[in-house]
Structure 1
């Protein structure tokens, strides 16, 4: 059985095509992703999904969908977003399509009845993979935009929050990611020599710029658009960071920029660690599994700061696959759903 799992985010759409044997064991995984800003291109979603699959489309037995893109401001409400995304996804394929909800996989007809169950439920899919590695753990999944902090007990997620709003309150969701976070939301001041300078609140630089300057990511991993529409070289990233304090490279040195970047990076880690400690103390769990694009540079560092033991999920799936873990988890859940003849 070959199943495509999609994670449709606001900025990126991830794909995992997973092939299973007759016993439900994985025998092959292919992954891909596409920068696809839903706030601009939502009407092209169907074509984007088909293009991502490519030649595998003729061999698919089913498609699974998880999403967070319903939150983009192209939709007036999350319900509107879920219904639009699910309809376009369902209409794009001639095989069974299922949608990841808070309590499992839903058919399209059930999504129409309960769209709120599908909104921002991609973490449900990722937790399925983490639980296979550590049945009692906290999963930290850091993507381009957000970080999920999901407690798992006896192989099942046990979050206190269910919606994004609730999870922001409980510490299980932190709106800070590897690429797209506006650095002005992380700090109010940054160091410049012996002084601290207040930052401007403009969208001048993002965390991708920080991590490029520090060597935490490669240029090909800077997959989102830049704030100024310019390139993604280290020098161009430095120019954007200089603007955060209303400066430029005539006023600042590369060492100044590196100092600012390192400070912002540290504050980002502190924010994730703070939420991790909150969840860990509440649930009495001291084992962390990290995944996502930021699994090493953010998730693992936050666990170290919180003095909690951690392991990367790349012990059971490859590092490349960790980047699209929700898509893989979606395919796994869809395979189990199909095996039960539920769709």
Structure 2
């Protein structure tokens, strides 16, 4: 347990599949971070339960909370604004009597009471919190945050965030938001066909396997990253992942060796890398960043960012090196970058 004092702040990132939280002290040191599964599309109860679990783990309610979100997009809600208001109500209820500051992007932090007229600014702004944090620590950089489901690609320079898009739709159009991650991405969107036994085989348009299976087979998936049931509710082992991958080709596990399935996983990883690299090139083409401006890696999939930096011929910096984490007791704060960033920004506001 990492006990919270009244002067501390907790940052929250309310996602559609996970809840992330970060505990910072009054000096800005990251003391703890946590990611919990939160299948919000199944019901608001899952968010309530996850928030309660974080508070129980950390032993107290601090004097302040800072909140950002992307979970308003889940199809539990009829609109994004309805989702924002529902999530704000949960946080107000669960965190009372402590004040709740909502990150509203370029509008800064707003009290929960002001959220009704600011839903568009609050919705899906967690990437801007992370990029704002990086912009205050590096003169130029390209933040690449690869999570379980999405990738954020954001340029920073001169103390500012150089984003072209400010909402999901605009960001997808300019390559700054890519729906591709290392855990929940369906294999059927990682490639249309794969090389297998000397021929090209189309992948089935079925939710039989996900990117967690791919990276489990390549040996790169962090052990703590995959927090939801497998597509077939089967074991999260290399053999289980190979079985799910085989099904994408209309085959059984026994149709090839484990080495063959691992080779196929590497091909799928390479295809995902190429897609991400294309979007990085697109974003870089919008900006005049110096040739030595680094890629800053964040998220559970930042092992890919190191490889992407090599492909770009740019230095790699792990976001951890920008944090005051010497007092960290538990968790991986870089997996929870928006939660850390929103707490840090609120502390400085």
The equivalent of 2:73 in structure 1 is: 71
The equivalent of 2:4 in structure 1 is: none
Aligned residues: 332
What is the aligned counterpart of 1:307 among 303, 313, 317? 313
Contact 1:50 1:57 in 2 (8 A): no
Contact 2:28 2:347 in 1 (8 A): no
Contact 1:145 1:176 in 2 (8 A): yes
Which range moves more in the overlay, 224-233 or 173-182?
224-233
Task: Measure the CA separation in 1 of the matches of 2:206 and 2:14.
Answer: 27
The equivalent of 1:324 in structure 2 is: 336
Which range moves more in the overlay, 192-201 or 313-322?
313-322
Deviations 1:24-65 (A, max 9, x none): x32342111101110013234233212112254535010111
Matched, 1:81 2:83: yes
Task: Measure the CA separation in 2 of the matches of 1:48 and 1:59.
Answer: 15
Matches within 5 A, 1:209-288: 209-285=213-289, 286=291, 287=293, 288=295
Q: Secondary structure at the match of 2:82?
A: helix
The equivalent of 1:289 in structure 2 is: 296
TM-score by length of 2: 0.91
Task: Measure the CA separation in 2 of the matches of 1:126 and 1:137.
Answer: 12
Which range moves more in the overlay, 104-113 or 6-15?
104-113
Displacement over 6 Å in runs of 4+: none
Unmatched tracts of structure 2, length 5 or more: 1-6, 326-330
The equivalent of 1:102 in structure 2 is: 105
Q: Secondary structure at the match of 2:194?
A: strand
Contact 2:127 2:152 in 1 (8 A): yes
How far apart are 1:230 and its partner, in Å? 1.2
Question: Quick one: structure 1 residues 135 and 53, their matched pair in 2 at CA, closer, same or farther if it must change by over 3 Å?
Answer: farther
Task: Measure the CA separation in 2 of the matches of 1:46 and 1:192.
Answer: 46
Contact 2:148 2:182 in 1 (8 A): yes
How far apart are 1:77 and its partner, in Å? 1.0
Task: Measure the CA separation in 2 of the matches of 1:99 and 1:233.
Answer: 39
Question: Quick one: structure 1 residues 50 and 135, their matched pair in 2 at CA, closer, same or farther if it must change by over 3 Å?
Answer: farther
Matched, 1:51 2:63: no
TM-score by length of 1: 0.92
Contact 2:38 2:46 in 1 (8 A): no
Q: Secondary structure at the match of 2:332?
A: helix
Question: Quick one: structure 1 residues 78 and 279, their matched pair in 2 at CA, closer, same or farther if it must change by over 3 Å?
Answer: same
Contact 2:133 2:345 in 1 (8 A): no
Task: Measure the CA separation in 1 of the matches of 2:217 and 2:46.
Answer: 34
How far apart are 1:89 and its partner, in Å? 0.8
How far apart are 1:203 and its partner, in Å? 0.4
RMSD of aligned alpha carbons: 1.6
The equivalent of 1:17 in structure 2 is: 23
How far apart are 1:311 and its partner, in Å? 1.6
Contact 1:111 1:117 in 2 (8 A): no
Q: Secondary structure at the match of 1:257?
A: helix
How far apart are 1:80 and its partner, in Å? 1.0
Task: Measure the CA separation in 1 of the matches of 2:132 and 2:301.
Answer: 19
Task: Measure the CA separation in 1 of the matches of 2:50 and 2:333.
Answer: 20
The equivalent of 1:336 in structure 2 is: 348
Question: Quick one: structure 1 residues 254 and 44, their matched pair in 2 at CA, closer, same or farther if it must change by over 3 Å?
Answer: closer
